Amino acid sequence: GENVEQHPSTLSVQEGDSAVIKCTYSDSASNYFPWYKQELGKRPQLIIDIRSNVGEKKDQRIAVTLNKTAKHFSLHITETQPEDSAVYFCAAPLSGGYNKLIFGAGTRLAVHP
Amino acid sequence: EPEVTQTPSHQVTQMGQEVILRCVPISNHLYFYWYRQILGQKVEFLVSFYNNEISEKSEIFDDQFSVERPDGSNFTLKIRSTKLEDSAMYFCASGTSGLARDNEQFFGPGTRLTVL
């Protein structure tokens, strides 16, 4: 069925450490993979996305890697800061759904000073 | 930078009442979406809309739900007879492309619906 698996559900790191969040998807036709950051009580904000024609994309301290063969993609945050604390959601379009994104269950990241 | 806007920010209603949630998508976007997020849970797709018709909907989007673009700028979600389990944050989103597989979707700030 339609599903995007996301791990871990919670992640606690010290400021300056790296954080990695992983997602797997089921539809091999999917070729667009966004990551959203959601602070408490606020809207999901797109922070980075990747399309299937590349294996990695970086934007300052944030990077996303994609393995199409294994159908998984990961978010990497380096040099974490307390303001990175939030819930992060991966998403993917699934089941021939041209117009819908299926979200992962979310990862609550806590960065401790 | 243009943003999706939503009103109201918080709606409280009695069970069985009708509610209409309003959204103004980004002006040059053609594809519109509603999602909901029950407190502490993930974001769930409800419906997508293009060219004045629904292009896809989820199992959640039953006969109690409807969407409309009444005037070329607003995009509304109506729940005809609210149930307690409809309590959630409802997010509107819009995008420029029709393919979710290639589509940046920009989310509004959400409307928190509380059904008593």
Q: Which two tokens stand for residue B115?
A: 């059904």
Residue type, B28: N
Q: How far is A30 from chain B (nearest CA, A)?
A: 6
B103 neighbourhood in chain A, CB within 8 Å: 32, 93, 99
User: Helices (DSSP H) in B1-116: which residue ranges?
Assistant: none
B58 neighbourhood in chain A, CB within 8 Å: 100
Convert the pLDDT of each residue in A80-106 to its tens digit. 999 999 999 999 876 555 567 889 999
In angstroms, rounded to a whole number, what is the distance separating the alpha carbons of residues A108 and B49?
Answer: 31
- Across chain B, which has 116 residues, the per-10-residue mean pLDDT values are 92 97 92 92 91 89 94 92 96 77 80 97
Give exposure, B13-46, as e/b (b: 16+ Cβ within 10 Å): beeeeebebbbbbbeebebbbbbbbeeeebbbbb
| Contact yes or no for A99 and B105 at CB 8 A | no
